[in-house]
A and B are shown apart, each in its own frame.
Chain A
Amino acid sequence: MTAYLIRRTATAIVVLIGVSVFIFFMLHLIYPTPAIDVLGPHANKFSINQWNAQHGFDEPWIVQYLRYMNQLLHGNLGYSYKLNQSVASLFRERWLRSAYLSGITLFLSVVIAIPVGIYQAVRRNTVGDAVVTTGAFVTYAMPDFFLYLIAIQLFAITIPIFSYEGPQTTSMVSIIFDWRAMTLPIVCLTLLNLAGYSRYMRSAAIDTVAQDYIKAARAKGLPERLVLLRHLLRNAFLPMITLIGLSIPDLLAGNLVCEAVFNFPGLGLLFYDSLGTADYPVLLAYTLVGAVLVVVGNLAADIALTVADPRIRLV
């Protein structure tokens, strides 16, 4: 087990290095220097060259990469010339809001997907199963923003219960208690996640129901409730751990669109705004942070799975 974990962690570190090189190189190709953004569109070649030399943007990309990584490891994510603020401080301002939005939707989707999936597996091919499957299938094929638009149209414009915009305050406490503004983003994002998770949970539970130990548990007369809780739930949940780890890119992308539609001032909206203003340091830093989250998330899922599933420890 220890050998496996060490090997797995080493792979993750190699992948992290590869990811950082790839993203830095790619963005370097796309935006070689922010000189034009700083000096204005009419800056002449001489002043651009001078600015590049002063700020180290004339050096080979590998040197710039190493310097950037050195700064990154010291907590400096670069400087946004457009917003005149360090990227780290921008992120510090906003990350909690995005984390709250992602965290609560992830929590809700998992907590709802498990019983729904088990219900579908146990009542397989009944009307209830068919209704949930159809709903999940349609939501799965739906572009995120279309669901937001329908929700806004129905519950913010036609029947104005909720707000069509996310909360605009900076205080975390008032964001959490601002149910009028937070309900639509949270419910929609949860539904979108749920579509994938419940389908997955259903097939995992169906595989588990067919196992001999479930039959044995039923045969020895265990109440159905205990069969489901003790045997089915615990085993069917294992693949979900991997799925949660794998769904981090979708969570990040989902946040981006959701925050853009609801004008919710989190990291996704920051990224979206930065796209419009070509604020390259923010784009670079957030793409990197996103990729790191993905790698770390997959690693954490694998470690959690090793802890949860003794069969893996033997390998």
Chain B
Amino acid sequence: MTNIAPELPPPGLPPAPEGGDILVQSGWRLAAREFAQNKLAVLGLAALIFFVLFCYLGPLIYHGGLSSDLEAVNLPPGPGHPLGTDNQGFDVLEELMVGGQAALEIGFLSAVIGMVWGAVWGAVAGMAGRLFDGFLMRIVDVLLSIPFLFVVLIVAVRYGASVIGLSVIIGIFTWQVPARLVRGEVLTLRVRDFVSAAKVAGSGWIRLMNRHLLPNSLGVIIVTATFAVADAILAVATLGFLGFGLQYPTFDWGDMLNNGVTYLQDGYWWLVYPVGICIIVVVMACNLLGDALRDALDVRLRRR
């Protein structure tokens, strides 16, 4: 008796951790397999990985010169400057790398802020129900009704743009959609048997949320986050293009385009097209990834 006992789970308790883990894993593994079969998704992922390497490892290897060189202004692509130089004599290729860092950082940070905030807000609203739920969701309605670009512009103009500041302000206008979706998930989940069982077993609110409700809404959150990154990168580029974006010494793709516009008539294409294509490829990669994840995780949701 005493020899066998340690090897068997104590009677009455299900082998919860192992069983749970296997189930969860197989769900994610299924999703991963479906994702891998989607060629466009793999392409999008590859493009994103390429851009992360390009932006962060690129400047370590390649030094085209990011200091003002007034003798090498607006040079066309050629030896030493594969993508030419801009009106300050900055090397366009290196500017692209460093500017991409800001875009990726803001996209990622604002998505994280938005998703964490939205998930907690939505879960609390879904759990609370009734009046408090209504109150929380009306706040979401209010924020969704405010033209987001206007507010971001006003704040950026007044306080100046920084990577952290822009991430926070974009994050503030990102969390509403995940909040709505997570609330919907929680509303359907909380009447399911396993949640009732957990409640009967004495789980408190926090445990219910952390162990059961949020992990099961993770699919929705991940998919929304991917699209949020794309939207944030576009918003930052728009801000920069309108002239209210990140300022030197931080580089910004939108600002580079804004510079290039001045020389559109002179035919300095290297100031406009490389950076425009970079923005399109990164945003498209995020959208492809999001679409594929949505299919793989079988999340039903509508984009804004």
Point out residues on A near B: beta carbons under 8 Å. 11, 14-15, 18-19, 22-23, 26-27, 30-31, 137-138, 140-146, 149-150, 152-153, 157, 246, 249, 252-253, 256-257, 260, 271-272, 275-276, 278, 283, 286-287, 290-291, 294-295, 298
Contacts and interface: CB of A to CB of B under 8 A. Distances in A.
Contacts, number: 121
A294 B304 CA distance: 13
Interface residues of B, number: 42
B138 A11 contact: yes
B142 interface: yes
A141 B145 contact: no
B154 A137 contact: no
24 contacts: A11-B141, A18-B141, A18-B142, A19-B142, A23-B146, A31-B158, A137-B288, A138-B280, A140-B284, A140-B287, A141-B280, A141-B287, A143-B279, A143-B283, A144-B238, A145-B241, A146-B280, A256-B149, A260-B242, A278-B157, A287-B154, A291-B146, A291-B147, A295-B145
Interface string B147-167: 111110111011100000000
A125 to B, nearest CB: 14
Contacts of B139: 18
B109 interface: no
B36 to A, nearest CB: 21
A30 B237 contact: no
Given A141-B281, A142-B279, 6 more contacts: A14-B138, A137-B287, A141-B280, A141-B287, A257-B238, A257-B241
B261 interface: yes
A294 B276 CA distance: 30
B195 to A, nearest CB: 27
A202 B261 CA distance: 35
The secondary-structure label for the interface of chain B is helix
Contact of B145 (A260, A278, A286, A291): A291
B242 A272 contact: yes
Nearest to A196: B303
Contacts of B147: 249, 252-253, 287, 290-291, 294
B284 A278 contact: no
B138 A30 contact: no
Given A144-B238, A145-B238, A257-B238, A27 B276 contact: no
B175 interface: no
In the A-B complex, the 6 residue pairs with the closest CB atoms: A18-B142, A141-B284, A141-B283, A253-B149, A290-B147, A146-B276
The secondary-structure label for the interface of chain A is helix
A153 B268 CA distance: 11
B270 interface: no
B150 A143 contact: no
B102 interface: no
A142 B144 CA distance: 23
A149 B276 contact: yes
A11 B281 CA distance: 40
B244 interface: yes
A18 B138 contact: yes
B178 interface: no
Most B CB atoms within 10 A — which of A19, A137, A141, A246?
A: A141
A275 B148 contact: no
B150 A290 contact: yes
B237 A143 contact: yes
A65 B244 CA distance: 28
Contact of B257 (A31, A141, A149, A157): A149
A246 B272 CA distance: 32
Most A CB atoms within 10 A — which of B237, B242, B254, B260?
A: B242
Nearest to A283: B154
A275 B287 contact: no
A282 to B, nearest CB: 11
Nearest to B241: A145
B265 interface: yes
A11 B304 CA distance: 20
B223 interface: no
Contacts of B186: none
B150 A294 contact: no
Nearest to B265: A157
Contacts of B198: none
Nearest to B244: A275
Contact of B138 (A15, A26, A260): A15
A257 B151 contact: no
